[in-house]
Amino acid sequence: QVQLVESGGGMVQPGGSLRLSCAASGSIFSIRGMGWYRQAPGKQRELVATIVSDSITNYADSVKGRFTISRDNTKNTAYLQMNSLKPEDTAVYYCNAITMGRSFWGQGTQVTVSS
């Protein structure tokens, strides 16, 4: 089992920045990759960014050049640095961890971009 706890969400003005954190516990040795997803009201959950083997990253086109995913194994934590935020980035952001054949989710953290 892997437990994930997100933090760092909040309200920010357009153009601002936030850094989300995802602290992992439990069978962390089994984690093969981590990612961030988001779900806006009335929309399906969508991929934001993933990181595999601590260095191979993938981003949704809508966040490329603005968001950066990283992972600190010494702290068992993944991060999502979000810059140049736009109102359309408003959503609940979820952390995800993949092991051999299983997927785990955090409880989500709200990000609101509004003036």
Q: Where is 28: in which H helix or E strand?
A: none
Q: What's the mean pLDDT in 13-17?
A: 98
pLDDT, average across residues 6-35: 95
Mean confidence (pLDDT) of the chain:
95
pLDDT category at 52 given cuts 50, 70, 90 is very high
Structure tokens at 11: 């309200």
- How far apart CA 65 and CA 75 sit, in angstroms, is 25
Q: What is the predicted pLDDT for the residue at 33?
A: 93
1-12 tens-digit pLDDT:
899 999 999 999
Mean pLDDT value across residues 60-66: 97
pLDDT for 49 beyond 90: yes
* Residue 67: closest CA among 17, 106, 21, 7: 17
At residue 32, the 3 state secondary structure works out as coil
Residue 54: pLDDT over 80: no
Q: Which residue has the tokens 């003005």?
A: 13
